[in-house]
Amino acid sequence: MGKEPYKLSTLLTDLIQREDVKIFIDTCSMMKESFDSFLSALIPLLDVNHKKLVIPYSCLQELKKHEDSFKLKKQAKSAIDSLQIISEYIDIRGNEDDCSFADNVFLRVFTQFRTKYNLILIS
């Protein structure tokens, strides 16, 4: 028997269709074994709704740091490779002046934009 295709929740599917939604993803979610399956389900929705997956620069820095880790190297490399493949569907925000931890960036950004957008954090 083959592996079941990844199915997004109805709530996430409905929210992505809204005009005022921004979708963020954290480092830990990108390093999951199911990340590619998740992207296979998400990318068509992003495409049809003209949306991008927002990734803080600090998350990319975390992935690069994990590439040097014996324990996390494989997952980090896989995440980086996947992001390169879907580059037209991602929006990297921030720069090296941001906090060194993505959690702090999420807190700041979500506090700043919570009244302007519906914000989704995949974590």
The angle, 0 to 180 degrees and rounded to 10, between the axes of the packed helices 57-66 and 73-85 is: 140
- Beta-bridged to residue 111, according to DSSP, are none
Which regions of the chain are under pLDDT 50? 1
Which pair of structure tokens corresponds to residue 23? 């979708």
What is the residue extent of each domain of the chain?
10-122
pTM listed for this prediction: 0.87
DSSP 122: E
Cα–Cα distance, 16 to 30 (Å, whole number): 19
Contacts of 106 (CB under 8 A, 6+ apart): 24, 26, 56, 121
Level-2 CATH architecture, domain 10-122:
3-Layer(aba) Sandwich (3.40)
